[in-house]
Amino acid sequence: MMYTYRLDGLCCASCAVSIEKALKKIDGVESAKVSFMTAKLSLEADESKIDLIEPEVGRLVRKIEPHVKLRRV
């Protein structure tokens, strides 16, 4: 299933690429695409694992960009 998130405060294109690469390594994530221009994350993930995946997504985003706020849209 596809999930979309806003990355409020994303200020670096390089960080967007780093976030995308890190998210693709999470178990249950089929694809991840971060757009620096729109500050959006599109995540295709196993619907049955999303409750476990979302906290990990938030942790990885904050690790790379500590001030970014992640919210589902």
Q: Say what the pLDDT of residue 6 is.
A: 98
Domain extent listing, the chain: 2-72
- Predicted confidence (pLDDT) per residue in 10-68, tens digit: 999 999 999 999 999 999 999 999 999 999 999 999 999 999 999 999 999 999 999 99
Report pLDDT for 65.
95
27: Cα within 13 Å, side-chain hemisphere = 4
User: At the topology level of CATH, where does 2-72 sit?
Assistant: Alpha-Beta Plaits (3.30.70)
pTM for this predicted structure: 0.92
Identify whether the C-beta of residue 72 lies closer than 8 Å to the C-beta of residue 5: yes
